[in-house]
Amino acid sequence: MVCFVFRDGYFRGYFLFIQSHKVLCATTQILIKPPKDPFKDALSESLPVIPESEEVTNEIMVLKSTRFIDETIKKLGLDISYYIEGRLKTGEVYKGTPFDITGKLIDPSLYEVPISLKILNKNRFRWDINTENYTKGGESDFGDPVITPKFSFLVMPDSSVISKNPKIGEVSYQFKFHNHQNLIKKYKALLKIEPVQEASVITISIEDEVTEKAIDFLNTMVEIYIENSISLNKKVNDNTLQFIDGQLNEVESQLNGVESNLEQFQREKNHFQFRK
């Protein structure tokens, strides 16, 4: 196992070599801050605020929730994976392919089944899928959708890369559709989130065969978490301001009422003295 460590969402560039197995993990840390309370903040502005253990536990549950993992997978486009066929084995390629694929699988039996792709020239490619029960293939233009009763996909090329590599047609690519719900379960199982003892920090790590994918997964998830926290804090602040405005309006109304009563009392008193 090789562990790549980065903090605050940035890869630091150093690693700890443990074993030679191709299982990689990325690790990051997040500083947990308690939710903002304008009243408490005003009273204890100069004092350090440490979150309760329950608050840290809640944040761990939020980070490991289906929603956060789902958003991370969608943002990174992990529902489709790319591979290069080698002489001895086929290896996953994360980023760096001369094309991007978007698509939809209609037949669930074809999840995890490789679809081969060969670049013919800068304009066309060939694709093939072979299973015991289904065989299909054909040639298509880049940018034109491939539509079959069992799946559809669209291949968008990086024309500059293809044009500069005359031997790119010798490379055999593959791609696979993944079941989205199974991906969520997979990353939930791989994700490890633990609190650092006696500190308001949690450590997040994840294992993957592709280092860059593991790092991107953590970076993206932390970005989504921070965006969510900022949005939540803004909502709390807006609600607090609305509450304060409401209270001020109510106090102002009460003061106006008291002032009106005093003026009425003063008029009645003067009228009584005049009659005497």
Which of 29, 20, 17 is closest to 219 using CA atoms?
29
CA distance 29 to 35: 19
**Strand, helix or coil at 123?**
coil
Question: 204 — phi, psi (to 5°)?
Answer: -120, 130
Average the pLDDT over 56-67 and give the result: 85
Laid out side by side, the sheet with 146-147 consists of 99-105, 151-157, 146-147
CA distance 65 to 110: 28
pTM, rounded to two decimals: 0.70
Specify whether the CB–CB gap between 103 and 153 falls below 8 A.
yes
State both tokens at 203: 């450590």
Query: Domain residues of the chain, as ranges?
Result: 1-78+180-250, 80-177
| Digit-coded pLDDT (tens) for 145-204 | 999 999 999 999 998 889 889 899 999 999 999 999 999 999 999 999 888 876 678 889
Helix axes 211-275, 66-76, angle to 10 degrees: 120
**36 pLDDT above the threshold of 70:** no
Of 42-46, 67-71, 159-163, 224-228, which has the strongest mean pLDDT?
67-71
**245 pLDDT above the threshold of 60:** no
Least confident of 81-85, 97-101, 157-161, 264-268: 264-268
**220 pLDDT above the threshold of 90:** yes
Query: For residue 16, what pLDDT is reported?
Result: 33
Query: Could you tell me the CA-to-CA distances from 120 to 124, 125, 170, 175, 200 in Å, in that order?
Result: 5, 5, 9, 17, 55
| Digit-coded pLDDT (tens) for 106-160 | 999 999 999 999 999 999 999 999 999 999 999 999 999 999 999 999 999 998 8
86 versus 266: the higher-pLDDT residue is 86
